Structure 1
Amino acid sequence: MNAVKIIFTSISMSLYSTLLLKVYLDIFLVKKSRYVGLVGWALFFLWQFCINTEVMYFHPVINLILTLMTILSVGVTSYEGILWKRFTFPITFVMMWMLLEGIGDAGYVYLNNGQNPSFMINSIFAKFLLFLIVMGIRWFVNRHGGGRIPYGGGAYLTIFLLSGLILYPVFYMLVETSDRKGTDSFGWLLMAALILTFMNLSMYPIYLRFVETIQVKRNAHMYVKQLEYYGRQHDLEEAASAEIQEMKHDMKQRLIYLQELVKSDQKDKLLTTLENLIGQSANIGRLESKTGNLIIDAMVNHVWEKTCKKEILLHTKLEIPGVMKIKDEDLGILLGNAFDNAVEASEYVEKGKREIWIEITHEKGYLYIFVRNRYQGKIEHNKGHRLVSRKEEAFHGWGIYSMKKIAERYHGQVELNWEGDIFSLETILYDDI
């Protein structure tokens, strides 16, 4: 009967530890799709079960290493994003957990004249405090925002964390190997544990400040680019307007001249003059897009300028309203990445065969974006699951990654396909949310 109680208690505590770890990591990390990360969670749960039942118990150093290995397997296999975050936050969880056990152990010995607490009492005490701290961290991050960023900066924070990672194992070993007959030493160890706990908790406000700084810089850079696009759009509109005014002014004289050429049956001169008149409409003042939606007009006209310079034939089909619920910054990042990838890939195609097709339509509450381009070379996924080409990485995996994250915000998706010499990118964003 005692064995059944031990197993039941161990399973309950192992599940509790696993769920608490999940709550903590979900604050800062982005989960992978379902079933992908079950291996990491299974390893962590089994190791916790072994510790709680004391079926396997090694030297404290070995136990700490195995705990770190199993918890890191969760971060690596169950979450996505930059690697340093998937390593750092699981380790900070272990640091906090072990520090709380150290506080419980040292405090109990200090207050009870050298008597040692049982493993179960100390474990329950530490897990209860850990629950309160994790809930407090979750509340703090949700209140201030910015916990989860799937990619980008913040790596400087690891320098601060490394100091704690170095200090903690030293403290842990001191607790485990110290003379348990003297309560004074445990008083000092209790104080050291409390100081290190404060250091650990101070990491979270610093982290959020880093995240806030990074986001502000990104937004500033994004808005600067948007202003550049809008400026080019304005210049194009002014040039087109000036061209129309000039053509209107000269139209009467040109029509009179064409009439004379027809009357005198000078067919060659007539054709040459007509070709010159038609060709003038393809100068810098021409607008490829004028839908009334400023961000899409700016982005399409910007890519049109680039394709003209690089001798790429551009085909467009645009049927969109002037105003949508989709944020301009999200649309600008998505279209900018899609267009840049298409132009860069087209540069490696033989001149005369370079083509890009852009279709953007809006109906029944969703925005449909379809971009196709010719490409040359072999496309494959590298070890980081980034889409790359043999030709100088013309297809940028990180750009596509950011596009997918934006699509998820609008419950949409990004689909990639390549067949023959045509690469296509198909995106759906729901505009009625």
Structure 2
Amino acid sequence: MKTLKELHPNRIFLAIAVIFIVVGTLIGQMYDRSAKKHMNSVRIYHRVNYSYSQKQGRMSLPQTLTQLKPRTKVHIDFDVRGKPGELLYVKTVYAPVKVYADGKLIYEYGDPKTRPSFMKDPACSVNTVSLPFDGEHKTIHIHMTYWSLKGRSHLTLKPCAVGNQGEVMRYISQNYSFSRGISIFFLITGVILVFFAFFFLNDIAPVKRIFYSGLLIALAGLWQYCMNDLSIYISQSVNGLYLLSFSSMFMLMIPMTKFVSVQLGNRKDKLLPFVTICNEVSFIAAMVLQFAGFVDFATSFYFFIIEEAMSLVLVAVIMGYHTMRNHHNDDRTFFMSTLTLSVFMILSIIRRLTGSTSDTMFVLMGFYLFVVILIIFLQSLWKNMMIQKEKAMALENEMSQLENAIEAQKHHNELLIAHAEEVREQRHDLRHHLVALAQMVDQKNFLGIKKYVEDMKASMPMNNAVTYCDNQIINALLSYYVEKGRKSHIEMDILTQIPAHNPHISDNNLSVIVGNMIENAIEACNKQESGEKKIILRAKVQGNMLIFTMDNTFNGEVRKRDGHFVSSKVADGSRIGIGLSSVESIAHKYHGEAEFHGEGHIFKSSVYLEM
């Protein structure tokens, strides 16, 4: 089974985008079919009698009453017909309520004892209560008493519905399952992206952008999930959902502005810090005011919906400005996503101000499109990051091989210097040897002469340096790796013909090729648990081509991913091998090719370059 790091990043983000579109379409179709199938499954009571503050009459729900003093009693009356086992669906928007059936109290919500002391008004509630039908088609008179809010001067009244448990559940689902499904998908996607960023544990800009975008998507999903009527009805944890819903909504612009700050990088913008600080201060102020019991989240909401819309517009303006100024593709994509979300947020505000609707479907649609565009943006971002990371690793590998070449050359030079010093000392002593030999000649001491000459031969310095090729740098590098291989009990068979000077191929690139090939071969031999360990390297000039071939023993296991050899330095095979990739890259640079494959327990390498 593949680990997260083994998965191709482009496929991850593309899969998320495709899943987003497919799931959104499926949820939409399910919602549409459910709405058509169960449109008349419950009986909804829109027309009711009302009375409050010496006003009375008939009205149609939903309705919003304005300019009410705190805790003004609002009475609603209507008759319902039904049968035993049917329920009354009741939704109250931040207002305490009591429900009476034929004068008997059957439901009560909003008692201060049931909520934290810092909440002036109760949270939204969606619930059902059994109706006391004792026969078929009986009529029951429903009387409802609402108390207006302390935190604001208007009260929103929602229509009640009557039906059995299944019918009521379907009624709620047909109106709220779509937005709840999307919110859950937002939550999952956001958490995946945040986990993805933490998993790689890199403090670099692309990973920060993935983290902030994931946090933004997760907060949007949490906001929509917690304010969803179906979620409220299922969980009944109204106070917790209330606090989570508003706090996540109030935080939305913080990761957004952080994302933009990372996106701009060194391109400083004077307006962005102001937008960031305003949103952070507003969030902190809202939290303090709510938990101190001064201003409820439900009241602060109207400020935040305006502030966040303005912040989105400013962010879109900032990104638009930098897009036109710098012509960055990443800026252009993110500008389109923020502009899309800004338009839908403004449309939502206009609909609220005109009284067309009080839901957040426009915001949800905006976020849906925003997330799709953002995921496409992240896919491009991650692809570029992986390219830069591979280049950095290739450069690091090249530097490592060059350091090895320098160290090998240094060792080779030390041997030459030591040898030259011994030769100088021998030359200095030569006159004394000649005098001694002359005396023995005069004495005709031929046995002494023979012994003296043999002693001189034994004391003469031996030149142990092996010449593998005419190129001094490559020769030194080969000497270094041959010594390293023999220390690991590997049989080294080296025969190379590399010219001293290559006008078109730099010694640096030759060092990278030779170093990577032999280093990988030594590592492969060291992983063998049994059998012969051997490396055979050949290099020769043929026409205008420099050709390298190498056979080395190995354990017979070839590990590849997406057509590339994986690094033997990582046990789970989650990283592409940089050494052989560098060899391939250099070969292509000089109009050549590089081929690597295993045959049984022999790994074969061949590289040719145009000289």
When the two structures are superposed, what TM-score results if normalisation uses the length of structure 1?
A: 0.47
Larger Rg: 2
TM-score, scaled relative to structure 2? 0.36
